[in-house]
Amino acid sequence: MTIALLSILLYLTQKTEVYLLVGLIVALVLIVVVSIESITRPPKKTEAITQGNLDYKVGVQTRDGIGQPSGYFDEATEKLKASYFEDLEKKVSEKTKALTQRIEELDSEQQKNKEAEEKALIEEAKEKATLTGIGEGVVVTDLQGKILVFNHAAEQMTNWTASEVVGRFWFETVPAMDEKGHLILRIDRDMYKALTTGKKVFAESIYLQKGSKKITVAVTATPIILKDRIIGAVEVFRDIGHEKEVDRMKTEFISLASHQLRTPLSAVKWFCEMLLNGDAGELNPEQKEYAKNVSDSNERMISLVNSLLNISRIESGRIIIDPKPTNINKLLSEVITEIKVKSDTKKQQIIVSVHSDLPLVNIDPQLIREVYINLLTNASKYTPPGGEISVFISKKDDEIISQVSDNGYGIPKKDYDKIFQKFYRGENIIKIETEGNGLGLYLAKAIVESSGGKIWFSSSGGSALGGESIEKKGTSFYFSLPLSGTQAKKGEVTLSS
Ligand code: ADP
Q: Which of 429, 434, 415, 339 is nearest to 380 (CA)?
A: 339
- The answer, yes or no, to whether any atom of ligand 1 lies below 6 A from the CB of 406, is yes
Reduce the secondary structure of 419-446 to three states and give it as a string. Answer: CCCCCCCCHHHHCCCCCCCCCHHHHHHH
- The answer, yes or no, to whether any atom of ligand 1 lies below 6 A from the CB of 409, is yes
- The answer, yes or no, to whether any atom of ligand 1 lies below 6 A from the CB of 411, is yes
Confidence of residue 354 (pLDDT cuts 50, 70, 90): very high
Q: What is the tens place of the pLDDT at every residue in 89-136?
A: 888 888 888 888 888 888 888 888 888 887 887 777 777 667 777 889
Query: Average pLDDT, stretch 355-359?
Result: 90
Phi first, then psi: give them for residue 317, nearest 5 degrees: 75, 15
- The answer, yes or no, to whether any atom of ligand 1 lies below 6 A from the CB of 440, is yes
Q: Which atom of ligand 1 is nearest to the CA of 408?
A: 24
Helix (H) or strand (E) holding 39: helix 17-40
Query: Average pLDDT, stretch 147-157?
Result: 94
Alpha carbons 282 and 272: distance in angstroms, whole number: 13
Q: What is the tens place of the pLDDT at every residue in 450-467?
A: 999 999 998 554 443 444
- The answer, yes or no, to whether any atom of ligand 1 lies below 6 A from the CB of 438, is yes
Give the largest Cα separation in the chain, rounded: 198
Query: Cα torsion for 393, 464, 416, 418, to the nearest 10°?
Result: 40
Q: What is the tens place of the pLDDT at every residue in 393-429?
A: 999 999 999 999 999 999 988 899 999 999 999 999 9
- The answer, yes or no, to whether any atom of ligand 1 lies below 6 A from the CB of 420, is no
Q: Which of 405, 426, 423 is nearest to 414 (CA)?
A: 426
Q: Which of 331, 341, 410 is nearest to 372 (CA)?
A: 331
- The answer, yes or no, to whether any atom of ligand 1 lies below 6 A from the CB of 378, is yes
- The answer, yes or no, to whether any atom of ligand 1 lies below 6 A from the CB of 387, is no
> Residue 377 C-alpha to ligand 1 middle, in angstroms?
9
Q: What's the Cα-to-Cα distance from 151 to each of 136, 192, 295, 388, 404, rounded to whole Å?
A: 9, 20, 61, 59, 50
Residue 148 has pLDDT above 90, yes or no: yes
Alpha carbons 421 and 405: distance in angstroms, whole number: 20
SS3 call for 407 = coil
Confidence of residue 356 (pLDDT cuts 50, 70, 90): confident
- The answer, yes or no, to whether any atom of ligand 1 lies below 6 A from the CB of 437, is yes
Alpha carbons 165 and 293: distance in angstroms, whole number: 68
If you take atom 9 of ligand 1, which residue's CA is the nearest one? 438
If you take atom 2 of ligand 1, which residue's CA is the nearest one? 436
Check if the beta carbon of residue 399 is closer than 8 Å to that of residue 472: no
Alpha carbons 80 and 87: distance in angstroms, whole number: 10
Ligand 1, from 425, 473, 479: best to mutate by most atoms within 8 Å of Cβ? 425
Residue 302 has pLDDT above 90, yes or no: yes
Alpha carbons 15 and 117: distance in angstroms, whole number: 102
Q: Which of 330, 326, 348, 327 is nearest to 339 (CA)?
A: 348
Ligand 1, from 307, 378, 422, 460: best to mutate by most atoms within 8 Å of Cβ? 378
> Residue 121 C-alpha to ligand 1 middle, in angstroms?
57
DSSP letters of 288-327? HHHHHHHHHHHHHHHHHHHHHHHHHHHHTT-B-B--EEE-
Residues 6+ apart with CB under 8 A from 70: 43, 58, 59, 60, 61
> Residue 305 C-alpha to ligand 1 middle, in angstroms?
18
- The answer, yes or no, to whether any atom of ligand 1 lies below 6 A from the CB of 474, is no
Ligand 1, from 310, 433, 441, 447: best to mutate by most atoms within 8 Å of Cβ? 441
> Residue 462 C-alpha to ligand 1 middle, in angstroms?
19
Q: State which amino acid sits at residue 158.
A: T
If you take atom 20 of ligand 1, which residue's CA is the nearest one? 378
**E strands of 185-228, at which residues?**
201-208, 214-226
Provide the terminal-to-terminal Cα distance of the chain, rounded to the nearest Å: 151
Strand arrangement of the beta sheet that strand 454-459 belongs to: 349-354, 388-396, 399-406, 475-482, 454-459
> Residue 274 C-alpha to ligand 1 middle, in angstroms?
34
Is-above-0.75 flag for pTM? Answer: no
User: Which range, 15-29, 95-109, 155-169, 303-317, has the best average confidence (pLDDT)?
Assistant: 155-169
> Residue 437 C-alpha to ligand 1 middle, in angstroms?
9
Check if the beta carbon of residue 388 is closer than 8 Å to that of residue 406: yes
SS3 call for 9 = helix
If you take atom 14 of ligand 1, which residue's CA is the nearest one? 425
- The answer, yes or no, to whether any atom of ligand 1 lies below 6 A from the CB of 384, is no
Q: What is the tens place of the pLDDT at every residue in 157-194?
A: 999 999 999 999 999 999 999 888 899 999 999 999 99
> Residue 471 C-alpha to ligand 1 middle, in angstroms?
13
